[in-house]
Chains A and B, each alone.
Chain A
Amino acid sequence: MPVKRLIMAVPVVLILMSILVACGYGADHNSDTQTERKVYTYDRVTGAADAKEEKDIYMITKVADSDYWLSIQRAAKQAADEVGYNLYYGATENEADVEGQRQLIEDAVKAGADAIILAPLDSDALVPDVQKVKEQDIPVILIDTILNTKEYDVCYMTDNMQAGRLAAQKLRQLLLNECVSDAEEIEIAIQIGSANSQTIIDRLAGFLEYWADYAPVNWKVSDDVYVNNGDVEDAAAHAAQCLESEQNLKAMVGLNNGSSQGIAQSIIDHKRTDIMMVGFDYSDQMKALVTSPDYDAATVVQNQHDMGYEAVMAAVEIRQGNTPAYKFVDTGVNVIDIDNLEEEEIQRSLAQ
């Protein structure tokens, strides 16, 4: 009997110990998290440090170490230099740090910002913060993502639904160019990086809307939209699986950079010149596919330069008492393929 009791007591003791350890860990971890909250600061990108005039623009974007945001920063700097404004730049370390952006907004106001340019991480959570900024008559210019409020002056971003439509339009064109008939039953596979990104969902919605209106009934978009959660290798692996197993596969679509990278890589690795592709952004893999005459591919590239540049210009206009003509400005996209690659406008957008 004592042995039996001992054996029964062991799992109970283990469970109790686990609970104690978890509590201890949780307490330690929580306390660690609190003490480790990042405090963000601004970098002065351009302008005089001791400028007395009211010409301070504070730009807050999503993450610091990203080519996309750095190109927007460069464009904003260019505009600020042209108009002689000071530009301060702040960004969070990751796309979940809404508190970080909140802190940056507060700091900008305390520092006496004359205008704030914001790429909000959360379209709802930051609404009260922006409303408070507006109450102090500080212009707020949104870029990349819109807020669910009217309390901003103007928003410069890509109309992602339209971008999706244009991607669909381009794919339809590619298929028609390859003389794929309306009667031919083909399948189009789509991949996305996240099911929670409104940007990506809008692109998907735009693509599907166009496809439902204009594509032949027999050109079917696969019911299963694959979500690779930003994992490029996973995107490539799934694309490879589709290439090997789908009989009627004729085209593949990546609605964000990572998905496009993976799909393009897979098409190249499998030398599937019979598969058409439309992607987003201009990664090395997409570049290899688009520039090759062996493949039928196109990519949709945003005009992030315009976001940064026009946002600064708008800030200046508003400070001078002018109201923006429009509230929502679609900075547009370029659909790039081998035929228009060398056009000046395209080259300029790729150089951003």
Chain B
Amino acid sequence: MKGEKRKLGVLKFIIVIYALFCIIVFAVTMTAQENLNEQQNVTQTKQIAGLLAEKMNASFAYVIGYAKEYALTLEQRQNEDLPTFYEEQQKMIRDTEYSGLGLVGPDGTVYGEEGQVADLKKYGYIDDAIKTKEQYITEPYRSCVSGDHILTVFLPFDRGEGQQALLFASFQLKSLQDVADTSVLEDQAGIFLLNAYSGNHISCVEWQSIMPGSWRSLKLEKSKMRFQEGYSYDRFVQSMRSGDEDGIIIVDQDGTTYMVAYEKIESMPDWYMVIKMESEQLLDESLKVQRYIWFGSAAMVLATALMVWYLFKREEREKRRFRQLSTIDMLTNVYNRREFDHCLDLYVASDEENKCGMLLFFDLDEFKKINDTYGHKSGDHILRTFAGILQSICAGGSVVGRFGGDEFVVFLKGCTEKSVVRRFVQDIREQAFCEMAKGERLRISFSVGAALYPTDAVDLDELCNCADQAVYKAKQSGKDTLVFYDETT
């Protein structure tokens, strides 16, 4: 039994260790999965920003491409005057996507539509373009002519003798905004054009109540942003001002985590394409997979645990059954001889004080005759009945066994008085009846031999011999009687 308990303890320990192991592996896997998801988010957001910036560059190149080519042709026509070119432009502008075309001569004379020129002068863009002496693009500004946000690109062209003139072409910011406005990202991302130095950014799409064409300031939004570990406002700004091609930051704002990816727009120096998306959105699909993995893993762990538990229980049942098979007499349901001896051995080896008891051998009288008369089935029935009577009368602590055939043995622990034994046997005798087939009530006759431990014998085998001798005497004395061993000597 001690061995059994020890084995059970070990098994429980193994199960607990296994469960802990599963939990740890589960946690590590989920953490790794989350990290992977975050990495994937970062990569995907950057890719989206990169794609949009590429589109922006391509769109920009397309928009100013015509003007660039025109500027080149103007360089070939250095003998013609600028007013002529200007008149030409006003005729061709209808066939272009430009909202305005104009020229700035080497002497600073400006040829252009009044409103367009007024805007350019108001913002100082003409002076800036002249100073730059190379391609110059304005910030988006609101045109007085159309009321829309436009940009103007200045393209220098050579007029000979070291003189340079400028061609300027204005186009709608919407043509660039439309590049960023995709149905795939509809309502899911804020898309901005951001200036690295001022931090001003203009929205390209409608998102979270921000309308396209609305200006925003990074300095103002900084107070609402909480940068996650590893990211900071200074690093973000410095990265763009250093001219990094791209980058990403993760911020918490108003309780939501956002990925903010930025990609340089080559055709617009100092400007970046910025995508701002909720982290969770990109995670949607991978979260679904993650959930499936979680549930699957949890189900597997649970199933494994249940399986182990089931196997454990089954093993217990099998052991009990096996134990039962090896200890119980299958016919009468009392201990078999081996188990009876074992019980006695345990008792004798125990630490109890004043160990004593009466060993009783019961031998059914004329059993063979009964078998022959009534049949083996009836004989088995008599044996079961008698065993049942013994069990019902025996007190707790007493041990009942079958030694085989028609022999039963009972050990009355702590019993030393013959009178008690006589009373015990008398009780059995009074109940020793068996209902047979056809309603016959058969009296079960039996002989009993009793030996006292440790008085008659200390050794258990010897004690059995004593009891055996006593039952032999009982048989010789006419059967159906009780004989004590000390009466045989």
A212 to chain B, nearest CB (A): 4
| A162-B123, A201-B220 known; A208-B211 Cβ under 8 A | no
Q: Which residue of A lies closest to B212 (CB)?
A: A148
Within 8 A of B (CB), among A307-343: 325-330
- Give bound CA distance, A314 to B142, whole Å: 20
Q: Which 3 A-B pairs have the closest CB atoms?
A: A327-B147, A212-B197, A328-B147
B196-224 vs A, CB cutoff 8 Å, 1 = contact: the mask equals 01111000000000011111110110110
| A146-B147, A330-B144 known; A205-B215 Cβ under 8 A | yes
A253 at the interface (CB under 8 A from B): no
List, in ascending order, chain A residues with CB within 8 A of B214's CB.
198, 201
Within 8 A of A (CB), among B108-161: 115, 122-123, 139, 141-148
Which residue numbers of A lie inside 8 Å of B, CB to CB? 123-124, 146, 148, 150, 155, 159, 161-162, 165, 190, 192, 195, 198, 201-202, 204-205, 208-209, 211-213, 221, 223-225, 227, 325-330
| A124-B211, A146-B147, A224-B222 known; A205-B142 Cβ under 8 A | no
- Give bound CA distance, A192 to B139, whole Å: 23
Q: Which residue of B lies closest to A325 (CB)?
A: B115
List, in ascending order, chain A residues with CB within 8 A of B199's CB.
208, 212
Beta-carbon contact of A223 and B200 below 8 Å: no
A209 to chain B, nearest CB (A): 4
List, in ascending order, chain B residues with CB within 8 A of A327's CB.
143-147
Beta-carbon contact of A204 and B217 below 8 Å: yes
B472 at the interface (CB under 8 A from A): no
In this complex, how many residues of chain B approach chain A with their Cβ under 8 Å: the count is 29
B232 to chain A, nearest CB (A): 11
A166 to chain B, nearest CB (A): 10
- Give bound CA distance, A221 to B142, whole Å: 25
Q: What would be 25 A-B contacts, judged by CB atoms less than 8 Å apart? A: A146-B147, A159-B142, A162-B122, A165-B123, A190-B219, A198-B215, A201-B220, A204-B217, A205-B198, A205-B217, A208-B200, A208-B219, A209-B139, A209-B200, A211-B198, A212-B195, A213-B198, A223-B222, A223-B233, A326-B115, A327-B145, A327-B147, A328-B142, A328-B147, A329-B144
A122 to chain B, nearest CB (A): 10
List, in ascending order, chain A residues with CB within 8 A of B200's CB.
205, 208-209
- Give bound CA distance, A148 to B210, whole Å: 11
Beta-carbon contact of A161 and B141 below 8 Å: yes
B193 to chain A, nearest CB (A): 12
Q: Which residue of B lies closest to A204 (CB)?
A: B217
List, in ascending order, chain A residues with CB within 8 A of B143's CB.
327-328
Beta-carbon contact of A204 and B144 below 8 Å: no
Q: What 14 additional pairs, Cβ within 8 angstroms, besides A155-B147, A162-B122, A327-B143?
A: A124-B211, A150-B148, A201-B217, A205-B200, A205-B217, A208-B200, A208-B219, A209-B139, A209-B200, A212-B198, A213-B197, A224-B223, A225-B217, A225-B219
**CB contact between A150 and one of B139, B147, B215 (< 8 Å): that residue:** B147
- Give bound CA distance, A201 to B221, whole Å: 11
